[in-house]
Structure 1
Amino acid sequence: MSSPTRWAGVPLTDRRIERRALLINAAFALFGEGGEGAVSVRSVCRESALNTRYFYESFGDTDELLGAVYDKVADEMNAEVQAAIQAVIDAVGGTDVDRMRAGVRAVLGFSSADPRRGRVLFTEARANPVLTARRQIAQETLQQMVRSQREHAHPGDDSTATLVAAAMFTGAMAELAQQWLSGALGADLDAVVDHAVRFVLLTS
């Protein structure tokens, strides 16, 4: 466990920030390998080499910690998706299809590059109520983004049609990610992305 001299000379605020990050990283590693059952106050403190009192300095319980893990991974994925879309825009201007392809590929690629990420964002999120709530917020954010893009591309469309399209796309992306992570769709990421984009175009 951490020794008193470990934080010598480090301002209190910085100590807390660093300890919180260590706990989140430890929980991510444990959760990503063994699921929710692998995460306890004791296991997280052991993994992070921190005393138990430091856990309660940042989190009330393990559910709160798991919520922080989800937020961290979701923020990292969103940043990667936005960077991928922006790269396409910077390179070729980026049509709606180009941006869609870049976004879908970034989501699937990010999730499978480290399977623990996919477990946090998609697989285990179905079972844990805290992660389910976080996932619902993430889906609502994605739906809003899809609605905005669709309204910009099809300003004359019926509002109900836009809402239905956004809801279907959001649900399909979550299921697509889970199937990709399970290996059910094979190993060719480019082929999966191409088929996904083609399907969206056919139903839009």
Structure 2
Amino acid sequence: MAVITIILQAFGKYHDGDFNVNGGYLYITIIYNFSVSLALYALFLFFFATSDLLRPYEPVLKFLTIKSVIFLSFWQGMVLAILERCSVIPNALFIDGHEVGAGTVAAGWQNFIICIEMFFAAIALRYAFTCTVYQEKKNDVIPPMQSISSGLKETINPGDMVQDAIHNFSPAYQQYTQQSTQDVTQQHGTNGKVSTGTKGSRKSDKIMLITSDDEL
């Protein structure tokens, strides 16, 4: 969709906030909105299906912080585009006197609001992704980073995603996740009620799951 957007812009068929049926923005927005909504629905289904297995990792705050940045920013931009279409966001004059369109003004508001929101998102991420899980393995020998270039290479390397996909869909991993789900369910009781437990018990569940995953 990003490539299609660039091509449409090159031919003058894409303008931010322009819902004209002869332009590409309307159709791009419809496809994006359908895709984003379907992805969010699928993630909710995934969470409900794996809630028992993921409970030791406390995924709710992680889910909300990451996905709110992605999904809410998209819908926020769409609302600003609608406001621009309804003439709520007017045109502006640049310093040298050249007129700046309402679409550019709406995009500027979107960027400004996102910068403000990222401050609060950073605070939420600090509590969602704590370092305590990794500190539990502080005795492990971690090789130092060779160079900045090697770190960047590992960051953009898609090989880990391919290996993770093969690992997740392998029969051995499916058997492991089923067994782990049964273990976690038994630890939380068999009377149909989930006990809150203590912080130490949740940490033990984390160690159990992480260690079992490493042993595969």
TM-score, normalising length: structure 1: 0.31
**Radius of gyration: which is bigger?**
2
Q: Which has more helix, going by share of residues?
A: 1
TM-score, normalising length: structure 2: 0.29
